Structure 1
Amino acid sequence: MTVTASAPEWTAVLPPEPGLTPEEVVARAEALAQGLIERQAETEQRGFYAEDTHEEFRAAGFYRILVPRRYGGYEFGVGTFMRVVVALTRGCPSTGWMFCLGAAHAHAVATLFDERAQAEVFAGGDFIAPATVAPSGTAERNADGQWVLNGTWKYCSGSPYATHFIGHTLVDGGGGEMRPMLFVAPRSEFTRLDDWHGTLGLRGSGSHSIRIENGRVPSHLTLDTHMSQVDVSGGTPGRALHGNATYGGGPLSFMILEDAALAVGMAKNALDAYEELMRERHTMFPPIVPRTEDPDFQYWYGQAAGLVHSAEAGLLGAVRQWEEAAARGAEHVTPELELRIATICRESVRMSWRAVEAYLFPTAGSSAVRQGQRMERVWRDMSMQQSHAGIALFLFTSAARELSRAHFAAGAGVH
């Protein structure tokens, strides 16, 4: 990857609240999350969070957390973003998922693309771009050098309020070989399909399909790579342009941090629901006492709480390793480091799921898992996450194998 330095002259654009701090934006997320709890049913029915929620997120600065400062963003970094994701998901898993997978990709753009592309993409300040990793559709270069795209991309979480779409397609690499191409399509070039319904969980995550018909994407908004194959150990355009190590960290491991943050937020949601039940209900068999005083319920809650807190500690530890490696320099953000972070996140996801499926869901009681109840909903949402390709196919399957390969390849010849 070629590192493109910043141009000698540029005009900074101040964010709406220049003095806003990371602590304040996290506190805003925690406060707004309380209102999301009662709106979970309507969010599922609609398929995405409401327009007024979207405006609250915009006013709170959530869509600018990862946008570079020079383009009117807050440039708060990965730790702040993941804490906001956990907070929102604790209120409503669908809302947290939709927000996360829409706003997170500001990091990829600010890391991988040159100044011309970033100035164009971030011109609006707020940035929401669903992304998919599965190549789809077709792309042909026209006479003026632009790419003409056609196709449909599924599972585009965050699409209802999207300003852009990040996708992959296959193009002719010569000699009959097809190579992946990553692209950023402006909102004017795609249509959101009304096809997000009938799923087990995450029904309000706005994961609609996106269709492009003769959409035009300039070459400077494309990269000859696949997101999962990017190696940033030689430097990135974003690190050079912004002078911020956040935009030199690994995009692959960043995406896996999202998975862990969402899992932790959902598990916290379930733990909160279980605590409410413990405070409100009594045991069914003598001695009839509040659940908070029953040894079995105390045990089940304590077991689940330990797993959830451990999962969160793993997430925060992975974030710390990600940030420290990026700060030490590009050469330290190796494929092995990214995969090590991924496996930490894997265990956070596993612990979050185990807390719910082994302790909270089966002991909450049948009435607590009826359709529309908070515990029932979060169980469906977490079950849906377990089937996600990034979880089932990558984290739970290939990540361990790839970590071993990266480790021994890096140590070849060292005795």
Structure 2
Amino acid sequence: MTVITNVRERAVAAPPEPGLTPEEIIARAEAIAPTLVARQAETEARTYYAQDTHELFAEAGLYRILVPKRYGGYEFGVDTFFRVVMTLARGCPSTGWMYCLGAAHALAVATLFGERAQDEIFDGDFICPATIMPSGTAERTEDGDWIINGTWAYCSGSPYATHFVGHTLVAPEEGAEPVPMLFIVPSSQFRRLDDWGGQLGLKGSGSHSIKIENARIPDHFTIKSHISQFDVSGGTPGLTLHGNPQYGGGPLSIMILESAVLAAGIAHGALDAYEDLMRARTTSFPPITGRTENPDFQFWYGQAAGMLATAEAAVLNALQQWKDACARGPEAFTPELELRIAGIGREVVRLSWDAVQRYLFPTAGSSSVRVGERVERVWRDLSTMHSHAGVAIYLNGLAPREYAMARFGIEAHH
């Protein structure tokens, strides 16, 4: 592991609670999550979680979990962050989604951007939606800066964002074929559009579009690559700067695991609701008994619970594989490894969805799947998750083939 002396040259900004532990921050999330359940309808109507919830997250330190210590963050492990995400998503799917996809990208920024950029970007709490689809335009100025224009859709976490990470296409030289360029823009240079909430599910996930008009950013706020194609095998700026192996990990596989953790947490919320129904309701047909005493309901609950326990175990094991690779060094992050971890993420999403749509939703009862009921909401939210390009197209189509090609040493033909 390489630690550069310039870590000491910059005064480290202490976080608000220097003694805070991962266990304590997870416990705070566990205390907050039950309060989110009753506010699900309110969150959907607003299209994002409330200002007081945002302030509670900030006070609890949730926006600093992945921010490096150098910049006033707690620099806790990704496992701590994922535990918090799973807990919040279990309470309110929209809130968990919005929190995760706003706070998660502290890891990518701290990994991929250089010291100069990070010194200017990070300042404690960090909320940064990111999109993978290139859009808009970027024009180079005479002094080497970039002028960014365009609209980027599905920016989950945008209502309270401090920054935005997007992609656009630029030609490396005149007449050359355009290639992706990743860029980061502070919130002072973009605005959120009021265009979210009409979808089937995840209505409160704050996934509004972001519009950028003539934003001027320095060249060191850009990376000439797509975030999913960044090769970390030769080391990363973040690993050199912070000396923490988690800032040297592969960005593709960890982004996939974000979706998997969300799916598992959301589905667990449906299981919680189903358990409440089991305890409170009776069977529809004779002999009339409590659902907890009925063999069919016992089977349906047990099947779903087993599937979700497996999903949680799988995603945590995949995360451990990611962490182990970080510890071995950047060269461990081969395309094959990243795509194998992505494959585990795909199966976690499938298990979570199957538990809900095969066992919990159909047997909960018609009154329990009316609009606004908890089981109905989870079904809508997971259905909408399956329309996400990263799940529907990449994980279920491209990723399995790419893994096989990586395994057998076959180059992709573009």
Cα deviation for residue 217 of structure 1 reads: 1.1
Q: TM-score, normalised by structure 2?
A: 0.97
What does the per-residue CA deviation read over 1:238-289, in whole Å, with 9 as the maximum and x for residues that have no partner? 1111110000111111101100000000110000010000000000111111
Where do 1:324-339 residues align within 5 Å? 324-339=324-339
What does the per-residue CA deviation read over 1:278-331, in whole Å, with 9 as the maximum and x for residues that have no partner? 000000111111000000000000000000000000010001000001001111
Paired with 1:64 and 1:336, the residues of 2 have a C-alpha distance of 31
Per the alignment, residue 154 of structure 1 pairs with 153
Per the alignment, residue 405 of structure 1 pairs with 405
Where do 1:237-316 residues align within 5 Å? 237-316=237-316
Q: TM-score, normalised by structure 1?
A: 0.97
Number of residue pairs matched by the alignment: 408
**DSSP 3-state at the match of 2:14:** coil
Unaligned ranges ≥5, structure 1: none
Paired with 1:61 and 1:338, the residues of 2 have a C-alpha distance of 30
What does the per-residue CA deviation read over 1:105-155, in whole Å, with 9 as the maximum and x for residues that have no partner? 0000000011111111102x0000000000000010112221001100000
The residue type paired with residue 187 of structure 1 is: S
The residue type paired with residue 286 of structure 1 is: P
Say whether the 8 Å CA contact 2:3–2:243 is kept in structure 1. Answer: no
Say whether the 8 Å CA contact 2:162–2:186 is kept in structure 1. Answer: yes
**DSSP 3-state at the match of 1:213:** strand
Per the alignment, residue 133 of structure 2 pairs with 134
1:345 maps onto 2:350 in alignment: no
Per the alignment, residue 92 of structure 2 pairs with 92
Cα deviation for residue 410 of structure 1 reads: 8.6
Per the alignment, residue 43 of structure 1 pairs with 43
Give RMSD over aligned pairs: 1.4
**DSSP 3-state at the match of 1:165:** strand
Where do 1:6-405 residues align within 5 Å? 7=6, 9-123=9-123, 125-174=124-173, 175-405=175-405
What does the per-residue CA deviation read over 1:211-233, in whole Å, with 9 as the maximum and x for residues that have no partner? 00101111111000001101111
The residue type paired with residue 356 of structure 2 is: V
Paired with 1:172 and 1:143, the residues of 2 have a C-alpha distance of 16
Cα deviation for residue 197 of structure 1 reads: 2.1
Paired with 1:197 and 1:348, the residues of 2 have a C-alpha distance of 26
Say whether the 8 Å CA contact 1:264–1:308 is kept in structure 2. Answer: yes
The residue type paired with residue 135 of structure 2 is: S
Cα deviation for residue 6 of structure 1 reads: 6.2
The residue type paired with residue 132 of structure 1 is: T
**DSSP 3-state at the match of 2:17:** coil
Unaligned ranges ≥5, structure 2: none
**DSSP 3-state at the match of 1:184:** strand
Say whether the 8 Å CA contact 1:138–1:150 is kept in structure 2. Answer: yes
Q: Summarize the Cα distance change of 1:157–1:272 in structure 2 as closer, same or farther, 3 Å threshold.
A: same
